[in-house]
Structure 1
Amino acid sequence: MNNPNQHLARMLKYYRHQKSWSLDKTAQETGVSKAMLGQIERKESSPTVAILWKIATGMRLSLSQLLEPIDNGGDVQATIIHNQAPIFRHASALRSQPTTDNMLIAPLFPFDPQLKFEIFELTLLGGFEKRSQAHATGVIEHIIVISGSIDVFLGAQWQRVSVGEGVRFAADTYHGYRNLSDLPAVFHNIIYYP
């Protein structure tokens, strides 16, 4: 993936224009200030993951739609499913740090409108903590830890999830992730959108 700031700027402009939304309308729908949206579009600011989620939720997009390029105006995933051809993607080729957070994101399988989910590999660097506002109604997250361990904030408390363990939860409530270790922790995050 190319420069994350450049890519986010392009995707935000693309979806805003596709919806025929002004910066004012986008700010109203997302709860992100017009100034911040303008800075992102001008490549003057790198948002946090929390800001990206607010933008995605307000614009009724999945997170990967802001992170993954659109090829030839179509959805790569849907084309592959229709043709029944396998797709191979490697996290190391997709991994980037698209926000100011101490987290790396690899959109392994971007959102597919037929299957209604997306899969990420997320790497939380040492000392990372992020709390997330509720996503859209009905959004469900699945976490599977593949390296290290993380704490997931659910129901007003932190719960440890270690290598080989998973958790599924309703993401339309306040939740969060943290890595208290000095070492990176890696997990897969499967997000279902109703």
Structure 2
Amino acid sequence: MQTEIEVGVNLKRLRQEKGWSLDKTAKETGVSKAMLGQIERGESSPTVAKLWQIASGFEVSLSSFIAASPNSELTSLFRDANELRHEEYNIGFFVSLLFPFEEALGFEIFELTLAPDYQHESAPHNAGVTEHILCISGEMAVMFDDEWHTLRAGQAVRFNANQSHGYKNIGEGNAVFHNVIHYPNNKQ
């Protein structure tokens, strides 16, 4: 699967850029050395939660793992969520990376689709990371500050993502939302 290969290549690249061994990477991310090796070799496809755990340990964006390294020059860019939508990370959770992290901007944008009754919980991100959720269609709830908050199409919320948080579909059809993740000081 192409995504497994990209994730593995990006994990190895980031690890080598930091000069980290697999042992050091396991310590920093809380993910076992065996699992990291399987990911690097494309033998294992990590869940979104596991990718966030690894990204937080590296102090980089999630898109650092699922996209090619972005061009450092900011140019016009058209994206189609329908062409980018993937379900490889969790069954019932579709991920479209609309705009990967770019240092000059300090954020990344995803379109996420939750199947009916799907719930995703995320571990805390690094200090200063904020998420901006805009419900596009359906009905969903976002968990932060130890409470679930309902969003309907057209409603939005921003919260500090350095806490446990999550998203769940509480409607009958798919819930589609945009997630703008901002990293402090343009630090991915």
Partner residue of 1:124 out of 110, 114, 121: 114
TM-fit CA distance, 1:9 = 1.2
Superposition pairs for residues 16-31 of structure 1, below 5 Å?
Answer: 16-31=15-30
User: Do 1:46 and 1:100's aligned partners in 2 also have CA atoms closer than 8 Å?
Assistant: no
User: Do 1:5 and 1:40's aligned partners in 2 also have CA atoms closer than 8 Å?
Assistant: yes
The residue identity in structure 1 corresponding to 2:99 is F
Superposition pairs for residues 73-112 of structure 1, below 5 Å?
Answer: 75-76=70-71, 78-80=72-74, 85-112=75-102
Name the structure 1 match of 2:11.
12
* TM-score normalised according to structure 1 size: 0.89
Name the structure 1 match of 2:125.
135
Partner residue of 1:153 out of 117, 137, 143: 143
Name the SS of the counterpart of 1:53 in structure 2: helix
Partner residue of 2:166 out of 176, 180, 190: 176
- Deviations along 1:106-160, whole A, 9 cap, x unmatched? 1111111121111111111222112111110000100001111111112212111
TM-fit CA distance, 1:182 = 4.5
The residue identity in structure 2 corresponding to 1:100 is N
Name the structure 1 match of 2:66.
67
Name the structure 2 match of 1:190.
180
The residue identity in structure 1 corresponding to 2:115 is L
TM-fit CA distance, 1:101 = 4.4
* Mapped partners of 1:30, 1:150: distance in 2: 30
* Mapped partners of 2:171, 2:35: distance in 1: 32
Structure 1 residue runs of 4 or more that deviate by more than 3 Å after TM superposition: none
User: Do 1:48 and 1:101's aligned partners in 2 also have CA atoms closer than 8 Å?
Assistant: no
* Mapped partners of 2:90, 2:10: distance in 1: 17
The residue identity in structure 2 corresponding to 1:79 is E
* Mapped partners of 2:52, 2:83: distance in 1: 23
RMSD between aligned residues: 1.4
User: Do 1:149 and 1:163's aligned partners in 2 also have CA atoms closer than 8 Å?
Assistant: yes
Name the SS of the counterpart of 1:176 in structure 2: strand
* Mapped partners of 1:144, 1:67: distance in 2: 22
Which consecutive residues of structure 1, in runs of 5 or more, have no partner in the other structure? none
User: Do 1:4 and 1:97's aligned partners in 2 also have CA atoms closer than 8 Å?
Assistant: no
Residues 100 and 12 (structure 1), Cα distance of their counterparts in 2 relative to 1, 3 Å cut: same
Name the SS of the counterpart of 1:99 in structure 2: strand
Name the SS of the counterpart of 1:79 in structure 2: coil
The residue identity in structure 2 corresponding to 1:193 is Y
- Aligned identity (percent) is 47
Return the structure number with greater strand share: 2
* Mapped partners of 1:3, 1:113: distance in 2: 25
